[in-house]
Amino acid sequence: MISYYRFFLVICCLAVYGLQVNAQTFERIEIGESGCSAEFPATPTLNFKTDENNNRIWSGAVRLEGTRYGILCMEFAEPKLDLTRSGLSSWLLDYLEGLKERFGIVATAGTTTDLELDSNPPATGISESWTTEDLTAWRIRAWIDPYHMAFLYGYGESGMPDLRILLVYLDSFRFPE
């Protein structure tokens, strides 16, 4: 009977330890002065610039346990009020094509369009899996409304990232309220 008790005690201790190791806290971070936010597993360093069209752009990333979590958030100088949800989605797909070239993406899979955010009905989103030439696997989410565009990504720098943590991050984006 005592050996069963010890076995049970060891199993319980291992289970508690395993839960502590896998627990990950997230912090909601405001993306510059855009009013947008996302939950990061660590505090990113954000950079700011204005592009040739006077759009305000914040970008940044954080590396945690071999995974890079990044964001690019744009506040449009000229809101895209003339575009329908379908038009916004097309604009976003075109923008993503440019990013694929910039990041050396050679394959795309699992494209899901027309994602919705309950907190922002005019917004639409896209989810994809990307692969680089050196076979690095990326997961991305991109969102757009008439005033903002955001691109969130994550990839393992040394192997596959923890998908549970990555999906929490990718699903955390919020537009200004």
Each residue of 118-146: pLDDT tens digit? Answer: 889 899 999 999 999 998 999 999 999 99
Dihedral angle over CA of 78, 80, 81, 87, nearest 10: 170
- pTM beyond 0.75: the answer is yes
Collapse the DSSP code of 160 into the 3-class scheme (helix H, G, I; strand E, B; otherwise coil) and give the result.
coil
Each residue of 69-98: pLDDT tens digit? Answer: 999 999 999 999 999 999 999 999 999 999
The CATH number of domain 26-170 is 3.40.1000? yes
How do the domains of the chain map onto residue ranges?
A: 26-170
Q: In whole angstroms, what separates CA 58 from the centre of its chain?
A: 14
